[in-house]
A and B are shown apart, each in its own frame.
Chain A
Amino acid sequence: MFSGPPPSDYFAIFGIEKKLALDVEDLQRRFYDNSRAWHPDRHARAGAEQLAYAEEASATLNDAWRALRDPVTRAEYVLKAEGFNIGEQRGRDVPPELLEEVFALNMALEEAREGDAQAKDDVAASLAKFEGLLREIDAERDRIFQAYDANPNRETLAGLRALLNRRKYIQNLVRDARAALA
């Protein structure tokens, strides 16, 4: 077990194939099993080399569990591994089809900040709409996951990245709206 460097690939360290659609419960079971095997506390009395291996493997496992348990960070990990640039290129531009809705929400947020009680209802209505959109996006995301797992290709990933960018944008709107209502 302690020969060669530990796997650095997040899927390999769990001993699973690279898939976007994952059974998170199975992943968690594997996380606990591998932690039991690799955690440095289990090798505290071993030699320096074995301890270093355990620390390395354990650290990668922890990073991998953090990344893969959540569908969004999992997708980002796969996108990055496939050479897609994520992060910086996420535009701040409003997706055109959302322009009207976003404008309405921003108006309502502004009025709510100024103490308009009526505006809060408008924010709540907007929030409900965007939360619905998020659910649709997540359903679409799961469809893309299935499609990619059946037939891995770059076009599908490009579509996934566009979807995630849209999701991020809406997520921020939802966060602002919730903060205004809290």
Chain B
Amino acid sequence: MSLFQIDFGNEDKPHKVVGIDLGTTNSLVAFMDLTAPKVIPGPDGNPIVPSVVSIPEHGEPIVGSAAMSRLISHPDRTIYSVKRLMGRGVADVQEELKLFPFHIAAGSESVIQLELGGKRFTPPGISAQVLRQLKKNAETYLGESVDHAVITVPAYFNDAQRQATKDAGRIAGLQVMRLVNEPTAAALAYGLDKRNNGIVAVYDLGGGTFDISILKLHDGIFEVLATNGDTHLGGDDFDNLLLRVALEDIASEWGVDLSGDQVAVQTLRRAVIDAKHQLSTLAATTIAFHYQGRAYRRELTRDVLEKLITPIVNKTLGPCRSCMADAGVTPEQIDEVVLVGGSTRIPLVRQAVRALFKAEPHTELNPDEVVAMGAAVQAGILSGHVHDKLLLDVTPLSLGIETMGGVVSKLIHRNSTIPATAAETFTTAVDGQRNVLIHVVQGEREMVRDCRSLARFDLKDIDPVPAGMAKIEVRFLIDANGILNVSAKDLRTGKEQTVEVKPSYGLSDEQVEAMILESFAKAEEDFNERQVREARVEADRILNAVDKAKGDDAYMELSDAERATVDNSIAELLLAYHGENHHLILDKMEALNKATMKLAELMMNTAVRGALKGTKIDA
């Protein structure tokens, strides 16, 4: 079977589906280019879009590198690492708040509300800005509109975090065809299935999350055996640690505590990150920090860095061991190890992985790009361009319901291949009871209070019958995205019951709809901008062609008046080019086309004459 086939079946025309890595620190978009996944560069030529959003006083949000420089100039209007807040409640993020300059507004119990420059934003709303930028980059690069995407999430993300990611996609105007787990995506990108039918471990240490997944490969099937991780462990933790050390150092040297000064903190943060990066290749470097006319310089060696971060690196080893136990494999049985995420550039991390799995890890692909590339492969699978691969992923956490005394009754166990289902029959406790309240939780512990509340829902309009007579079957389905779907049926009447699931953390459907509506108003602006951009690309093409034609002998055959008309048309097109009206650009292009018609004909004739001559000589 060929690797890629174009499907001319009667199914819908394939949409262009892109793959997006929505990371804590950086985000990327990639697409399936004929035979291989390819990352899409932004306007600056760099595919990496820092996951930083800044809200200026006037105008559109600023995203990416431009927003990053505003971290220092406008720290109160700029936000980074928002992925740490996705699908979480205020109570969950108290630790985060000590380390990150998030300004949380009141009324953030179920959805966190961030305050930036006097406006309120939700984490999915901020992430949507990053997604919108990636969508734009893809559209400019591919020259067509992009409305469908596969987005990656940490494998260890729970239901609420996945739902929040999907919401962000919707708000950005993307139909999220699939959420795919980051380590699994990396395995797809490496295409290790071609080499063997072995066992692969993917160690993914990103900016804010850690995942470990163990997969079994079998003729193009990527079957995840087990996954584990920590959604709050990553490169950010190294940065925060170094930052704290440097702040203490400065406090003792200068006698000033800068930890409350946002500008100073962000500048110093940049300096320690630079030092961390350098120590991946150098044995020693200097943390250099200039602030208000004072200079701080501190030598930092790799040895010292490693001593500092060892406890954090070691925190990844427990989940790795549990994952191997759950997958039923020993380190010796693991054939390949793949490293993903920027933090795996750190020599100490590589060393720890090598020692644990007793194998030399794969590092051929850029650890920053590999997840987006895998997402593009998955996009190819969904759009029908990739036929020989299939992912069978698992749910990272067990799903259960609350029973008497706050005990959890587990319905779907962690590491179950998804989609997965479970059914449970409920009845009423008192005569004539019309409602049954069901509480769904996610987690491995026995008591509800130790698990994560996922949703509550009411089974409504139950026929009033004596206690214990009602029989309502509730079906829980975890879909291929790892997201829970619930349906219910009255077994006595065979009637489908309505189930209104109220998520414990996250946006309601209405809130997402409202945010989409809001973005429609902006969409018109976006659309106009896109048309202008596309018109400019076309104008560039024509201007280049005319420029080249001017060097042709045929140009001299034109009359002076004809040449003047051409020059005039060029000038007018250039004027329109720098405006914002795409109609005008198109009109002026049309005019230039007309003005150069004769030139084109003359050139054509010359070319034909040349070609004929050529034929004669050859003959």
Q: Once the chains bind, are A55 and B419 in contact (CB under 8 Å)? A: yes
Q: Which of A25-63 contact B (CB under 8 A)?
A: 32, 35-36, 39-42, 44-46, 55, 58-60, 62-63
| Selected contact of B11 from candidates A36, A39, A46, A55, CB within 8 Å | A46
Whether a CB of chain A sits under 8 angstroms from the CB of B418 is: yes
Interface membership of A66, Cβ < 8 A: yes
Task: Please tell me if the beta carbons of B391 and A32 are within 8 angstroms of each other in the complex.
Answer: no
Q: A44-B383, A45-B383 are in contact. Are A59 and B390 (CB under 8 A)?
A: no
Chain B proximity of A57: nearest CB distance (Å):
9
Do A55 and B392 have beta carbons less than 8 Å apart? no
Q: When chains A and B are docked, how far (Å) is the Cα of A63 from the Cα of B417?
A: 8
Number of interface residues of B (CB under 8 A): 25
Q: Which residues of B contact A65 (CB under 8 A)?
A: 417
Which of A40, A45, A66 has a CB less than 8 Å from the CB of B479?
A40
Partner of A62, one of B14, B219, B382, B419: B419
A45: B residues at CB distance < 8 A: 11-12, 14, 382-384
Are A40 and B218 neighbours in the complex by a CB distance under 8 Å?
A: no
Contact B221 A40 (CB under 8 A): no
Assembly CA distance A44 to B148 (angstroms): 12
Q: Kindly list chain A residues whose C-beta atoms are within 8 Å of the C-beta of B382.
A: 41, 44-45
B447 within 8 A of A: no
Q: Nearest CB to that of A54 among chain B residues?
A: B419
Please encode chain B, from 576 to 605, with 1 for each CB lying within 8 Å of some chain A CB and 0 for all others: 000000000000000000000000000000
**B317 within 8 Å of A (CB atoms):** no
How far is it, in angstroms, between the C-alpha of A39 and the C-alpha of B381 when the chains are bound?
11
CB distance from B571 to the nearest CB of A (A): 49
Contact of A42 among B390, B418, B419, B479 (CB under 8 A): B390
Instruction: Contact check, A55 vs B178: say whether CB atoms are below 8 A apart.
Output: no
**Chain A CB within 8 A of B416 CB:** yes
Could you tell me if B390 and A58 are in contact, using CB atoms closer than 8 angstroms?
no
Q: Is B72 interfacial (CB-CB < 8 Å)?
A: no
Interface: B160 (CB within 8 A): no
Those of A100-127 within 8 Å (CB) of chain B? none
Q: Are B421 and A35 in contact (CB under 8 A)?
A: no
Task: Contact check, B418 vs A62: say whether CB atoms are below 8 A apart.
Answer: yes
**B1-35: contact bitstring with A at CB < 8 Å (1 yes, 0 no)?**
00000000001101000000000000000000000
CA A66 – CA B382 in complex, angstroms? 25
In the complex, are the beta carbons of B392 and A35 less than 8 A apart?
yes
B390 touches A36 (CB 8 A): yes
Please, which residue of chain A has its CB at the minimum distance from the CB of B416? Answer: A66
Most chain A beta carbons < 10 A, residue from B177, B417, B420: B417
Instruction: Decide yes or no: A66 and B381 within 8 Å by CB, A32-B219, A36-B390, A46-B11 being known contacts.
Output: no
Does B543 belong to the interface (CB within 8 Å)? no
Question: Which residue in A32, A36, A41, A63 is a CB contact (below 8 Å) of B420?
Answer: A63
Chain A residues with Cβ below 8 Å from B462 are none
Q: Does B192 contact A (CB under 8 A)?
A: no
17 cross-chain CB contacts under 8 A: A35-B392, A36-B221, A41-B378, A41-B390, A41-B391, A41-B480, A44-B381, A45-B11, A46-B11, A55-B419, A59-B420, A59-B421, A59-B477, A62-B417, A62-B419, A63-B420, A66-B416
Residues of A within 8 A of B (CB): 32, 35-36, 39-42, 44-46, 55, 58-60, 62-63, 65-66
Which residues of chain B have a CB within 8 Å of any CB of chain A?
Answer: 11-12, 14, 177-178, 218-219, 221, 378, 381-384, 390-392, 416-421, 477, 479-480
